[in-house]
């Protein structure tokens, strides 16, 4: 299936398909392995950056010949696993809301989910559908990994190894890069790749402090968009998938219109405050913090930043935070959902 879903300048975002057409692309890929979304960036031979995005989710539904036939006719991506029919990607989110159920997620809190028995086979299929095959064997593909979390017991060794294996099996030469570092590559070129990149994802917030491309401090925080959705669902009595749908439908954090939107605004503000508090604490404890000659820029990206009013609320909380660094500007990526993937593509092309 092939469906154009978004256009922004020179970036074209398309729905799930059987992978890129290798012969139409230059060498090098960047793939953002997010808890909520998988995003792959490649460059066409004419220089245009093309991005393919897919929700990192699946949902099991009743399996029978009629259902399979209709899904095939409607071009809905599905697989059959141990006799169970699973709808993959964006359609899983749609089905979950229609049937008032929660999606199943291969990843949780930024890592392969230990609670989902089908996590590995589903994530392999989803990654392949987004990345596609390389143009030539050994093509470089940068992929995102979380920085080590500071507020939960988890390391990236297993997670990193799984995705290295998936990409190597497809024929790529995989390279790992911390999410926040990729944000610096995509958003802070005009600042000589100096400043603070924050990837605000579904499972984690990833932070990287850089000076001229060199990361000085990197860490992740174990809260993100999923944390907001789960708490909103808990206090309002709705399914998590429904809370996600309402959040993405068009909430303005500065002027919520009902109880659910009010809960979303409250948890967003709490998450931003928590992030700034952690940043202050880590900076005060670190001996690696650069002495910047000029005030820096904080660049935020990721699907969790796409809600209306995010930047305004972030600035409000920042103004009252007594932040230890001089900050010249706080800005959101021009295309938050694809920012990490585009930064990874920059790294991939630079290596080539």
Distance (Å, whole) CA 303 – CA 165: 26
Kindly report the pTM of this predicted structure: 0.88
Q: Tokens 């993100």 sit at which residue?
A: 224
Which helix (H) or strand (E) segment holds residue 50: the answer is strand 49-55
Distance (Å, whole) CA 302 – CA 161: 23
User: Torsion angle of alpha carbons 272, 111, 38, 61, nearest 10°?
Assistant: -110
Distance (Å, whole) CA 112 – CA 105: 9
Domain boundaries along the sequence of the chain:
4-56+109-225+261-351, 57-104
188: Cα separation from own chain's centroid: 18
Say what percent of the chain tops pLDDT 90: 65
pLDDT of 17 over the 70 cut? no
Strands (E), 109-248: 111-112, 139-145, 172-178, 195-200, 205-211, 214-221
Domain 4-56+109-225+261-351 annotated CATH 3.40.50.1820: no
pLDDT of residue 185: 96
Q: 202 with 37: CB under 8 angstroms?
A: yes
Closest Cα partner for 160 from 112, 213, 209, 203?
A: 112
Q: What is the number of other CB atoms lying within 10 angstroms of the CB of residue 269?
A: 16
Beta partners for residue 331, in sequence order: 299
105-162 tens-digit pLDDT: 999 989 999 988 889 989 999 999 899 999 999 999 999 999 999 988 888 999 999 9
pLDDT of 5 over the 60 cut? no
What average pLDDT score do residues 24-49 get? Answer: 92
pLDDT of residue 21: 60
Say what percent of the chain tops pLDDT 70: 93
What average pLDDT score do residues 211-228 get? Answer: 94
């Amino acid at each position: 299936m092939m469906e154009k879903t978004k256009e922004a300048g020179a970036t074209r975002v398309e729905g799930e398909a059987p992978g890129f057409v290798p012969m139409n692309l230059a060498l090098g890929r960047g793939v953002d392995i997010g808890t909520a979304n998988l995003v792959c960036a490649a460059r066409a031979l004419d220089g245009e950056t093309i991005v393919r995005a897919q929700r990192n989710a699946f949902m099991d539904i009743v399996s029978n010949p009629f259902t399979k036939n209709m899904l095939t006719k409607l071009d809905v991506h599905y697989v059959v696993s141990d006799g169970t029919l699973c709808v993959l990607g964006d359609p899983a989110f749609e089905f979950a809301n229609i049937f008032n159920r929660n999606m199943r997620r291969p990843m949780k809190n930024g890592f392969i989910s230990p609670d989902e028995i089908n996590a590995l086979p589903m994530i392999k299929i989803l990654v392949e559908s987004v990345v596609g095959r390389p143009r030539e064997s050994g093509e470089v593909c940068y992929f995102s990994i979380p920085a080590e979390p500071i507020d939960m017991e988890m390391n990236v060794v297993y997670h990193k190894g799984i995705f290295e294996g998936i990409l190597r099996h497809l024929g790529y030469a995989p390279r790992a890069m911390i999410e926040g570092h990729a944000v610096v590559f995509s958003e802070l070129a005009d600042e000589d790749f100096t400043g603070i990149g924050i990837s605000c994802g579904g499972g984690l917030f990833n932070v990287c402090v850089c000076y001229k491309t060199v990361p000085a401090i990197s860490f992740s925080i174990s809260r993100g968009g999923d944390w907001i959705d789960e708490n909103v669902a808990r206090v309002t009595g709705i399914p998590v998938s429904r809370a996600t749908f309402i959040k993405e439908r068009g909430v303005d954090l500065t002027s919520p219109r009902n109880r659910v939107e009010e809960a979303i605004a409250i948890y967003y503000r709490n998450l931003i405050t928590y992030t700034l508090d952690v940043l202050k604490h880590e900076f005060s404890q670190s001996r690696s913090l650069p002495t910047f000659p000029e005030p820096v820029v904080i660049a935020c990206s990721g699907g969790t930043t796409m809600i209306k009013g995010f930047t305004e609320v972030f600035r409000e909380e920042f103004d009252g935070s007594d932040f230890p660094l001089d900050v010249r500007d706080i800005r959101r990526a021009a295309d938050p959902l694809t920012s990490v993937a585009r930064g990874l593509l920059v790294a991939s092309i630079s290596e080539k």
